[in-house]
């Protein structure tokens, strides 16, 4: 039981380090994927992310209404621990 | 000598103070982390989510060692998004298992009801989601990701599924993020104060976690899970999992290995979609063939205890083969044959059935 706070503390430290480094990167470099304005590129990226992430467990479902799909994607983000960037691109792909 | 003793005493005092301060330090770090996280650009979802009712309904008929079982299941999933960061989610399980009594007669049997999870998720930032309530224990991948009937490729459960996968009641931190362009990391760490056992109401305290790396280009995920019971003999369970979908083939491979005092074992499963077949293409692209091999080794518990947990009572090997036909999205016909070998006896298991995944929006469907 005594180790739990230590493990929790270590986890928080690691995540904080990641959050800081990511924040610095955001300030200095622009990710070509996240900030892509070309819808076709984002759609292609979204399909790629969909196949890589969602395809790990199930076949492609039909496209649901956008607001329902937004809920499904949020649910899957938590369930399948999908990254935020993947979630955005998958949602874009599934709602186009 | 006196100097040494006083040094040791002072050193022990420091250690005690450090240990006492650790929980406060951890809490402070958590607080700092979440406050910082609010400063990040937390973009809202492009589409405002609405509540939905989803889930699976299935009707399966299985013949195990000559005994016919009609298994009817409905597993509704309610998803209630709140704002940009919150999600309340729940899944119930209603399962009727009907079979003829030994002397003959009409089919009958119990209808089981379970609340698999009822949890509140708070997406704090791109790295951390906080979950509280009853949640599916993140041990391995089958329990959390492959369990729903419309997802699983073979309907019979893997032999090792009952190990360390009963729903947990407590709190969990989880998340997934890119480590670099080649790999994503996903993790879950949880504390459970009570747990509903496989066979009824059993209370226990446990902690655990899962760590996985996903490599998007080869579509390979590898990971490990751990769980420690914080009472009685404080036993550990460890597991490893692999998932692989080679980009060039419509093949999906999953595997888990687990070791615990309740038993050890593994399963490995491959599902191949026949979309590349050159004959009967219209039918073949909807067809999937599956094979699974698995083995279970007895642990340090009695045969009766193992069976009460849903585990085999003896060392067991099993091979399963299946064919699934995807009639349309979310609706598939399933069939499988398996043979189990153990010192308690060998037998066949046939399963046929249909499963359907439904989704009903509970709000206005248009864009905001």
| Residue B68 to residue B56: CA distance in whole angstroms | 23
- pLDDT for B36 equals 46
| Residue B36 to residue B38: CA distance in whole angstroms | 5
Selecting from B22, B145, B357 the residue whose C-beta is nearest the C-beta of A79 gives B145
Residues A63 and A46 in one domain: yes
Residues A18 and A45 in one domain: no
How far apart are the CA of A40 and the nearest CA of chain B, in angstroms? Answer: 17
* Total number of domains in chain A: 2
Q: In angstroms, what CA-CA distances link A23 with A29, A83, B132?
A: 10, 16, 27
Domain interval for residue A23: 1-30
Closest CA to A2 of B15, B211, B237: B15
Residues A22 and A65 in one domain: no
Test A81 with B188 for CB contact under 8 angstroms.
yes
Look up the pTM and report it: 0.80
Residues A59 and A90 in one domain: yes
Residues A85 and A41 in one domain: yes
Q: In angstroms, what CA-CA distances link B151 with A31, A89, B60, B146, B348?
A: 34, 22, 15, 6, 24
Contact residues, chain A, for B174 at CB < 8 Å: 78, 81
* B104 phi and psi angles, rounded to 5 deg: 100, 170
CATH homologous superfamily of B62-360: Porin (2.40.160.10)
Residues A10 and A44 in one domain: no
Rg (CA), chain A: 17
Contact residues, chain A, for B221 at CB < 8 Å: 56
Test A57 with B151 for CB contact under 8 angstroms.
yes
Residues A38 and A85 in one domain: yes
Test B19 with A88 for CB contact under 8 angstroms.
no
Complex-level ipTM: 0.81
Residues A65 and A93 in one domain: yes
pLDDT by residue for chain B (368 residues), tens only, comes to 444 544 444 445 544 554 555 455 455 455 444 444 444 433 444 568 999 999 999 999 999 988 999 999 999 999 999 998 999 999 999 999 999 988 888 888 899 999 999 999 999 999 999 999 999 999 999 999 999 999 999 999 999 999 999 899 999 999 999 999 899 999 999 999 875 555 555 668 899 999 999 999 999 999 999 999 988 778 999 999 999 999 999 999 999 999 999 999 999 999 999 988 888 888 898 999 999 999 999 998 888 999 999 999 999 999 999 999 999 878 999 999 999 999 888 999 999 999 999 999 998 776 54
Report DSSP state, residue B142.
I
Residues A41 and A2 in one domain: no
Test A65 with B36 for CB contact under 8 angstroms.
no
CA B44 to chain centre: 29
Selecting from B19, B29, B121 the residue whose C-beta is nearest the C-beta of A78 gives B121
Residues A13 and A43 in one domain: no
Selecting from B49, B230, B364 the residue whose C-beta is nearest the C-beta of A74 gives B49
DSSP assignments along B91-115, one per residue:
EEEEEEEEB--TT--S-B--EEEEE
Residues A45 and A79 in one domain: yes
Residues A22 and A47 in one domain: no
């Amino acid at each position: 039981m005594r180790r739990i706070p230590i493990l929790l503390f270590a986890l928080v430290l690691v995540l904080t380090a990641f959050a800081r480094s990511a924040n610095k990167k955001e300030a200095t470099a622009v990710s070509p994927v996240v900030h892509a304005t070309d819808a076709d590129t984002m759609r292609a990226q979204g399909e790629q992310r969909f196949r890589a992430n969602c395809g790990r467990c199930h076949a492609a479902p039909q496209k649901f209404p956008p607001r329902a799909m937004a809920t499904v994607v949020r649910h899957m983000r938590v369930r399948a621990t999908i990254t935020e960037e993947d979630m955005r691109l998958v949602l874009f792909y599934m709602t186009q | 000598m006196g100097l040494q003793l006083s040094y040791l005493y002072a050193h022990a005092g420091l250690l005690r103070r450090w240990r006492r301060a650790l929980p406060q330090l951890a809490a402070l770090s958590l607080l700092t982390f979440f406050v910082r996280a609010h400063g990040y650009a937390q973009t809202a979802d492009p589409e405002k989510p609405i509540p939905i009712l989803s889930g699976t309904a299935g009707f399966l008929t299985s013949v195990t060692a000559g005994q016919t079982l009609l298994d009817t299941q409905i597993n509704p999933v309610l998803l209630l998004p709140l704002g940009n960061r919150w999600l309340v989610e729940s899944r119930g399980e209603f399962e009727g298992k009907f079979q003829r009594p030994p002397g003959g007669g009409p089919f009958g049997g119990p209808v089981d009801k379970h609340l698999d999870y009822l949890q509140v998720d708070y997406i704090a930032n791109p790295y951390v989601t906080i979950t509280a309530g009853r949640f599916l224990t993140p041990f391995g991948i089958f329990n959390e990701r492959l369990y729903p009937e419309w997802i699983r490729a073979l309907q019979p459960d893997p032999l090792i599924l009952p190990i360390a996968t009963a729903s947990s009641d407590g709190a969990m931190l989880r998340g997934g993020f890119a480590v670099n362009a080649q790999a994503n990391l996903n993790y879950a760490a949880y504390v459970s104060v009570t747990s509903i056992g496989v066979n009824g109401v059993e209370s226990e305290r446990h902690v655990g976690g899962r760590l996985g790396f996903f490599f998007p280009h080869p579509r390979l995920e590898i990971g490990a899970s751990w769980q420690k019971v914080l009472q009685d003999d404080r036993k550990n369970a460890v597991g490893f999992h692999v998932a692989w979908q080679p980009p060039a083939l419509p093949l999906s491979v999953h595997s888990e290995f687990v070791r615990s005092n309740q038993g050890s074992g593994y399963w490995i499963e491959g599902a191949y979609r026949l979309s590349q077949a050159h004959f009967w293409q219209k039918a073949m692209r909807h067809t999937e063939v599956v094979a699974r091999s698995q083995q279970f080794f007895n642990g340090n518990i009695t045969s009766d205890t193992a069976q009460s947990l849903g585990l085999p009572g003896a060392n067991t090997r099993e091979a399963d083969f299946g064919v699934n036909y995807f009639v349309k999205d979310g609706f598939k016909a399933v069939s499988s044959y398996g043979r189990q070998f153990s010192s308690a006896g060998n037998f066949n298991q046939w399963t046929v059935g249909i499963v359907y995944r439904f989704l009903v929006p509970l709000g206005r469907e248009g864009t905001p």
